[in-house]
Every structure is written in structure tokens, then in C-alpha cells.
Structure 1
């Protein structure tokens, strides 16, 4: 009996489970973010679109930002030796700051469509929505 293959299999399973939680949060966070932006758009502006199309378009446009920016940043924040031991309350500014930077990057990519301040604020909302979904999934699936 060699115990190493069982430990290795358990380590692979643990890594896969953790990555699956992060990826699930990546694909569900744009939907929550789109719903927040659509609700804001309906309440503040006289929008010609209804809730569904606004949420869907926002989710589609924000999915690459969540996939290519939020996922690596979240993995870094949660597994970096400097930030791994910090509490949830201490991680919130990291996610908000990363979201703000992603929003500013979106302002550069989308150019004249939106202002940088607006997209920075939207990025903060997106970063915090990803953090909320991720923490909820961690509570559900890991304990």
C-alpha cells in the first residue's frame, strides 16, 4: 500500500474543487452585475430598453473582464502569502480596487462611449459582486 497516490489524488481533487468555485463565480457574477446595472438604469434613467435586454448586454460585455481580470486577481488575493490570512473585511478593498482598475481599463477599451469615472464606479460594483458571489460559493461548497 502506497499512500502517496491517494494524497496526490486528494490534492488534485481539492485544487479542482477550488478552481471550479472560482470559475462558477466568474460565470454567475456577470449576471448579478448585469442585473444591478439594469436595475440602476431603470431607476435613474428613462431607459428605452427593459430590464432583461439591459442585463443581458451588460453581462455579455462584462464577462471577458470577469474571466480575464477578476479570476486571476481573485486567485492572487486568496492564495498570495501576504493576503491569504486576511479576513473577508480586509479583502473587500482589494476586490473594489481591482474592480475600479478593470473599469478604468474598460473606459480605455470602449473609448468615447462611457466616462472613466462611471466605468470606474461600475468596476467597483462588479468587483464587489464577484467577491460576494465567490464568498457565498465558498460558504456553500467548502463547509
Structure 2
């Protein structure tokens, strides 16, 4: 049985290599096909941060195949939730969207030890987001 996702969520950070990729990984893993998940950045990196990949691998989520993507107006338009990751990105604003800004440390240049607390903060926010989506 195929169903329409309850919501679509776009995670945005500058390089789309760390925080937004971890958030997308958690949401895809925890919500499954109930939620459509996207991530993007205004200046995407060439690859996902290796420390973020390793930190997510530690909790059983593989984001190693993900690739940073450029933020487009279309991605924002087709999302119900637009979540920026505390990095000052400016997104196009469209009526009817829910915009959130999650203030999180940047894992760029950090080792996996420094990324673990960021990962856990993201997991907590994702669990709250899923509860909000499920309640609506």
C-alpha cells in the first residue's frame, strides 16, 4: 500500500555536508516514508563530512552515499517545513510553510568526538519534529 507522505521537510545549511545531512538521515530513518525528506545548501561542499558519516554510522544510519546539493527555490516551494541549521542561510519565504532555525554547532573540521553531541542534539529535535508532524 502506497500512501502520500504526511509532510515534506527541507533541511538547509551552507555546505549541506554535516548538520543537514545528519538531520535528513535521522528523519528518513525514524519516520520512514511517512515524511518526504530533502536537504540542500547555498554553497554545497564536494562531499559529506566524514566525521558526520562516522557519527551516524555509530547509531546505525548510513549517510555515506549522500551528496551535498544546491538549495533551489523549487525545493523550498515543495516543502511543508524548511529547517535551517543555525548557519545564517537565507531561504526564499513562501506563505504556508513552517520555518524553523535550529541553532547547532558546525561539525566542519571537527573530529567524531565533537560531532557526537551535535548528532544527539539533532536526534532530539528530529524526534520532536516527528511528533509534531504526526499530531497535525
Q: TM-score, normalised by structure 2?
A: 0.37
Q: Which has the larger radius of gyration?
A: 1
Structure with higher RCO (Cα < 8 A, 6+ apart): 2
